[in-house]
């Protein structure tokens, strides 16, 4: 019986007809709609072309801003351990004169112009052993003082410039940034 079925199907109508019959379209089960409904988290929203364009336009602008910021940051910072080179750089960038000198106990790391300050200002980072300290210097117009005029133990005014030092460990160690003790 089986042979008759197969023979009729294949011999008389050929492979094309067999495929035509056996691969014909079928009805989708009801379950499909339920599954699609369950799979839908939220109804679709029309695509907002304006928002997409605005976001797309912002990408290059942000890239340019980021590049400018990075290059600006590079221009406003120097990383070097040489006292005279750093002094020259600070003078050129801010007009401030910080009489840095070579120190046996401290090691200079970097100087950074403080762009957020209302007056020219610079922050010098240095190392005392494994500790890090900073010296901030800013313009202090009208507060002329020939020598060190201390405001507190860590801050003073001298030659129209205000100094604030954060010195880890021995406070006198910071003095060697500018003075041979």
Residues forming the site for other proteins (CB under 8 A) = 1-3, 5-7, 9-11, 15-16, 18-20, 22-29, 31-33, 35-36, 39-40, 43-47
As measured in angstroms, the least distance from the Cβ of 124 to other proteins is 57
Tell me the closest approach of the beta carbon of residue 53 to other proteins, in angstroms: 15
Distances in Å between the alpha carbon of 51 and those of 54, 57, 58, 67, 79? 5, 10, 11, 24, 43
Nearer to other proteins, 40 or 153 (CB): 40
Closest to other proteins by CB, 8 or 88:
8
What kind and span of H or E run contains 131? strand 131-139
- Nearest-angstrom CA–CA distance, 149 and 147: 6
Is the separation of the CB atoms in 126 and 83 below 8 Å?
no
Query: Cβ of residue 31: shortest distance to other proteins, in angstroms?
Result: 7
How far, rounded to the nearest angstrom, does the alpha carbon of residue 32 sit from its chain's CA centroid? 49
Q: Which is nearer to other proteins, 15 or 118 (CB)?
A: 15
DSSP string, 85-107: HHHHHHHHHHS--------SS-E
Q: Which is nearer to other proteins, 26 or 115 (CB)?
A: 26
We find the least distance from the C-beta atom of residue 56 to other proteins, in angstroms, to be: 16
Q: Which is nearer to other proteins, 32 or 180 (CB)?
A: 32
In the complex, minimum distance from the CB of residue 166 to other proteins, in angstroms, rounded to a whole number: 57
- Helix, strand, coil abundance in the chain, percent, nearest 5: 40, 20, 35
């Amino acid at each position: 019986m089986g042979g008759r079925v197969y023979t009729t199907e294949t011999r008389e109508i050929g492979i094309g007809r067999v495929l035509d019959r056996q691969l014909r379209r079928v009805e989708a089960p009801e379950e499909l709609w339920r599954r699609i409904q369950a799979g839908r988290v939220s109804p679709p929203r029309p695509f907002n072309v304006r928002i997409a364009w605005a976001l797309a336009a912002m990408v290059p602008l942000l890239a340019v801003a980021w590049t400018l910021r990075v290059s600006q940051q590079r221009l406003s910072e120097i990383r070097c351990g040489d006292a005279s080179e750093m002094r020259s750089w600070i003078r050129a960038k801010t007009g401030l004169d910080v009489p840095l000198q070579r120190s046996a106990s401290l090691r200079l790391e970097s100087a950074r112009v403080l762009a957020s300050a209302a007056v020219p200002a610079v922050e010098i980072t240095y190392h005392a052993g494994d500790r890090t300290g900073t010296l901030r210097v800013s313009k202090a117009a009208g507060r002329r003082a020939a020598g060190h005029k201390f405001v507190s133990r860590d801050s003073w005014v001298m030659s129209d410039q205000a100094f604030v030092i954060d010195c880890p460990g021995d406070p006198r160690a910071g003095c060697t940034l500018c003075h041979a003790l």
